[in-house]
Structure 1
Amino acid sequence: MYTTRELATLLGVAPATVAKWRRTPDGGGPKWIKLNSKLVRYRIEDVEAWLNEEEHQ
């Protein structure tokens, strides 16, 4: 599982961008899991699925 910071680094965006995706009603980013009031994680398979959906040919 990725942290917000790890995902941001992987995607080459700021952690604030990843956090913004979570706050956007239609998402815009990969699915995420809230483990407690402060702990958010991203499953590797959800990130991979999101990237595949975003892929343009």
Structure 2
Amino acid sequence: MVSTNPRGTGRLLTVTQAAERLNTSERYPRRLIEERRITFVRIGRHVRIPESAIDDFIASGLVEPIRLHGRRAA
């Protein structure tokens, strides 16, 4: 029986691919995994990071610009 994942994790990335997506070294995604700051999947002794987890991590760090009302840019 095949079960479907309701979260729709999509493609699973290696640590190297996740690092490329984050534009960092491999140490950073490995640290995120170690500190349990990002969702990951263990497949045997291998670790994979869902592409959606990378998207969520990036979105969580998004900072919106401050919009000042009544002020003009010089």
| 1:35 partnered with 2:46 | no
Structure 2: state its 5+ residue gaps: 1-11, 65-74
Query: What's the TM-score once normalised by structure 2's chain length?
Result: 0.62
Greater strand share, 1 or 2? Answer: 2
Q: Secondary structure at the match of 2:13?
A: coil
Distance 1:51 1:35 in 2: 24
Higher helix share: 1
Identity over the aligned pairs, expressed in percent? Answer: 9
* Consecutive aligned runs of 4 or more in structure 1 exceeding 6 Å deviation: none
What is the count of residue pairs matched by the alignment? 53
- C-alpha distance in 2 between matches for 1:8 and 1:41: 12
1:56 aligns to 2:67 (yes or no)? no
TM-score scaled to structure 1, two decimals?
A: 0.76
**Which ranges in structure 1 are unaligned for 5 or more consecutive residues?**
none
Q: RMSD of the TM alignment (CA)?
A: 1.4
Bigger Rg, which one = 2
